[in-house]
Amino acid sequence: MKPLFILFFSLASVCHAQVVVHVLGTAQDAGRPQAGCIMSCCVNDHGQPMPHEPVVSLGVVGGAKAPAVLVEATPDLTQQWNVLTSLHAGVAPKNILITHAHMGHYTGLMFLGREAMNSHSVQVHGSARLCAFLAMDQPWKQLVDLQNIWPQTLVPGDFLLFDTFRVSALSVPHRDEVSDTYAYLIIGPQKTLLFVPDIDKWNHWTLSLDSLLDHVDYALLDATFYSAKELPGRNMDEIPHPFVIETMQKAKHWDAEKRAKVHLIHFNHSNPLLDPKSEESQAVLAFGFGLCRTGDTFAL
């Protein structure tokens, strides 16, 4: 992979049109409420399902002439695609960035198929293993064969160039059964956003989160579980993520400016941070982190 500093060079060459990142969903892969869940996080006091929270996704809009980009193809793609199209003056996205091949991040591609939208040559960017998986395994292979999608390999450290912003990938350690896992840097004319919805643990990464934050303005980070107590009976070693309390412990020596760059995202249905009124949400905000909510925007 290219040295980290190369990822941040020559930003002045990017056109100074405003680039806006829209949060289109904040939940972990299965959304909220989750199938089979009858706990209070999914069902209210009257036995009715809690309001739906879409799976984590971003939309990047970089001006009228720049193509909008959808980040992640989630099970909620129909809603997220239509919202992003509306935000981009009715122009549908032509590019999708996918971090990895876990169910909440790529299975929405099915809605681009012949039985649904029947899209034409939507470029799907990701790792070489992801692109090979899409091209060789059904039902995704049919999408490729019918030219609904066009997989495009993005090599970590290289730039994917759009009219008003650029994107670069960083390799991330995370249960890579089917594909490698990427984080994405979205680099606008003035600011940079880091998107890391999934990682095993911060200390497993060859990169330093502390150092990365010195080079970005916003960091949307994995907050799948607040603590190990959320899923009694589950072996948390089988589904490793940095607990929010671990991320806070890691950041305890950071100054207020650095903490303010962090915005947590990718909340499991059991995570109390989904409730803005919870004690845990208030504790995180008091610590100096932000909490992503669907509808939030970040100007780059």
121-176 pLDDT tens trace: 999 999 999 999 999 999 999 999 999 999 999 999 999 999 899 999 999 998 88
Asked if residue 284 has pLDDT above 60, the reply is yes
Strands of 45-180 (E only): list them.
Answer: 57-61, 69-71, 95-97, 122-126, 149-153, 159-161, 166-172
Decide if 37 is inside a domain.
Answer: yes
Return the SS3 of 86.
Answer: helix
Q: Please give the angle made by the CA atoms of 195, 196 and 200, to the nearest 5 degrees.
A: 175
Q: Flag the least confident range among 5-14, 26-35, 47-56.
A: 5-14
Read off the CATH number of the domain in which 166 is found. 3.60.15.10
Decide if 9 is inside a domain.
Answer: no
Decide if 198 is inside a domain.
Answer: yes
Report the number of distinct structural domains present in the chain.
1
Name the residue with tokens 């869940």. Answer: 37
**Mean pLDDT, residues 182-205:** 95
Decide if 220 is inside a domain.
Answer: yes
262, 251 in Cβ contact below 8 A?
yes
Decide if 253 is inside a domain.
Answer: yes
Tens digits of residue pLDDT in 41-73 = 778 878 888 788 999 999 999 877 777 999 999
194, 183 in Cβ contact below 8 A?
yes
For the chain, the residue count is 300
Asked if residue 2 has pLDDT above 60, the reply is no
Asked if residue 239 has pLDDT above 70, the reply is no
Rounded Cα–Cα distance for residues 143 and 134 (Å) = 8
